[in-house]
């Protein structure tokens, strides 16, 4: 059985490539166990930095009247309705839901 990383799960879900519900507790625990950047493999660190940058980008489009929860419920607000944008916005919202 292949173990998939949290980012792989998020990308698959955002792109509609999986119908398997990931174990959210396992994913959250894995993120919480990281104590410092020194504990991470370079590729994992790069993906986490990418996720942080994507989240910061996504947050710039949140309407002032929206809470974080409302933005997660409507992650594509203020974006061009393209498949790529929608997939990225939904993946970022899922990352935020998971504690990222």
Count the Cβ atoms, other than its own, within 10 Å of residue 82: 10
pLDDT in tens, 32-69: 555 455 666 788 888 888 889 999 999 999 999 999 99
Q: Per the structure, how many domains does the chain have?
A: 1
25 or 50, which is more confident: 50
Domain membership of residue 63 (yes or no) is yes
Residue range 58-67, pLDDT digits in tens: 999 999 999 9
- 8: which 2 tokens? 């792989």
Residue 45 in domain? yes
**Is position 53 within any domain?**
yes
Whether 28 maps to a domain, the answer reads: yes
Range of the domain at 60: 6-97
Q: Judge whether 1 lies within some domain.
A: no
Give the span between the Cα atoms of 67 and 51, in whole angstroms. 20
For residue 19, pLDDT beyond 70: no
Asked whether 100 and 31 are in contact (CB, 8 A), the reply is yes
């Amino acid at each position: 059985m292949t173990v998939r990383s949290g980012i792989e799960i998020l990308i698959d879900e955002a792109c509609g490539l999986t119908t398997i519900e990931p174990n959210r507790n396992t994913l959250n625990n894995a993120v919480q166990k990281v104590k410092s950047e020194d504990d991470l493999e370079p590729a994992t660190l790069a993906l986490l930095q990418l996720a942080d940058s994507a989240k910061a980008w996504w947050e710039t489009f949140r309407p002032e009247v929206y809470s974080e929860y409302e933005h997660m419920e409507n992650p594509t607000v203020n974006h061009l309705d393209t498949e790529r944008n929608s997939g990225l916005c939904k993946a970022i919202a899922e990352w935020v839901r998971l504690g990222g």
